[in-house]
Amino acid sequence: MSRLRLALLGLLSALALAACGAQPLASWPGLAVDQELAYVAYNNQVVAVNLADGKKRWSFPPEGGRGGDVFLADPAVGADVVVVGSEGPLSSYSGAVFGLNRADGAERWCLALDSRARDRLTTATADCPLAPGATQAGLFGIMPPEDNRVIAGIALADGVAYVAAANQRVYALDALTGEVLWTQLVSRHPIWATPVVAGDRLYIASLDHVLYARDRATGNPLWEKDLGGMLAGSPALVDDVLYIGTYNKEVVALDVSGREPVEKWRATAENAVWGGPQVKDGVVYFSDLSGGLYAVDAATGAQKWRVTPGGMLRASPAIAGDLLFIGDKDGRLHARRLTDGSEAWTREVAGGGQLYASPLVLPEAGLVLVAPYQGSNWLVIYNTAGNEPRAFAPSQ
C-alpha cells in the first residue's frame, strides 16, 4: 500500500466523525465464498482457500505473473468461473477485469479498462482487449486523468457479470468468455458499491448521491433518485423495498415496485452509514462510522435498539440464525443477538489487523469468515460460536 493510502485510512475515523464529504477508500481485502472455497483479493493476488483446512488451493496471477495489478474488490463466483476486478498497479488507476477458472485459477479472459492496462497485460501468449468506451492515451502517450479502478464488488447472475467501475461506467460481461454485452456511462462520480440484480433490473449506488435503476438486458436508464448523501454501500432488496445507507447519516427505504421509486421512511444514525444494511424478519440492521449498530422496523423505520460493540464500524453486518456478526476497526469480531443487540461473544481476530471488510457467513456449515486488513493473516474462519479458528497467511 502507498504511504498516502495508509495515512488516509488512519484518518478515516476522524473524517467520519467530522461528517465530511471526502471520498472513502477501499484498501481492505475483497472476499467471496462458496460451499468449498473462500476467495480473497488482496494486494497483488487473488487466493482460493479451502474452507476445510485453511490451505491455499490456487492463487492468481501465478508466481512471476504479468501486470503487477492490485486486487481489492470482492470477487464474484459462478459454477465454473471467478470474476475479479483490479485497480491496476499501485497508484496507476488503470484497472482491468479477469475471468478465472474456479477449479485452478487459470485465466480464461481479460478486459482492459484503459489503454495502459491493455498494453500492460497483453503479451505474446495472453490477450487483454480494450473495453468499449475505454480511456486511451492521447498525444505523446499522455493518459487523460480518469480513474479506471474496479473498487466495487462484482455481481454475477445468470452467467452475466456486472462490473461497476470508478470511471462511472457499468459493464455487462459474459462471465465465461468476457464478451462485452453492453456498457453504459451511468453516474457522475465513482461507483464503489456492488450492483444489485433483481429480476429485469440492475440497481447501482453511486458516490454522486444517486441510486440508479437500469434495464438489466441493455443498461438503459429506468429512473434515478438523489438521496442527499454519498452512497458507498450496496442496498438490500426485500419484497420490492430497497434499503440503503448514506453518508448523510441515514438509511432510506424506497418502494421500487412501480415505475418510479417511492420513499417510505428515513432512519437517522449518529454518523455516516457506509456498509449496506441487512434485513431479516421485518427488521433492518446496519452500522455507522461512529461505531453504532442499529435495528429498525422495516415497515416504519422506528428504532428497536442501538448498541456500540467497540470500535468504528465500516462493514455491513452478516446474519446467521439468531446472531448478527460484524467486525470493527480495532480488529474485533462481534456476535450480537438479533433480539436486543446484546453480546453473544467477541473475539480479537487471530493474527491481528483491522476488520473493515464485511464478514461472510455460511449458515449451513456454521462458519463466519473475516479478511483482516494489515494483519498477519489474510483470512480467518470461525465457527458461529466463535471457536475453532482457522487462518490463512500469504506464506502458506
| Domain residue spans of the chain | 23-118+125-130+145-185, 312-395
Q: What is the pLDDT of residue 396?
A: 63
Average pLDDT over residues 96-118: 97
Mean per-residue pLDDT over the chain, rounded: 91
How far apart CA 96 and CA 1 sit, in angstroms, is: 19
Residue whose C-alpha cell is 468449498: 36
- What number of residues does the chain have? 396
Contact at 8 Å (CB) between 213 and 222? yes
Domains 23-118+125-130+145-185 and 312-395 share a fold: no
Q: What is the pLDDT of residue 23?
A: 38
pLDDT band (50, 70, 90) for residue 346: very high
Cell numbers for 222, please give them: 429506468
Tens of pLDDT, residues 169-179: 999 999 999 99
Tens of pLDDT, residues 187-217: 999 999 999 999 999 999 999 999 999 999 9
Cell numbers for 157, please give them: 447472475
* Residues in a beta bridge with 40: 31, 47
Neighbours of 286 (CB within 10 A): 28
Q: What is the pTM of this model?
A: 0.92
**CATH number of the domain at 312-395, please?**
2.40.10.480
pLDDT band (50, 70, 90) for residue 139: low
Contact at 8 Å (CB) between 382 and 333? yes
**Domain with residues 23-118+125-130+145-185, CATH architecture:** Beta Barrel (2.40)
How far apart CA 51 and CA 13 sit, in angstroms, is: 33
Contact at 8 Å (CB) between 27 and 54? no
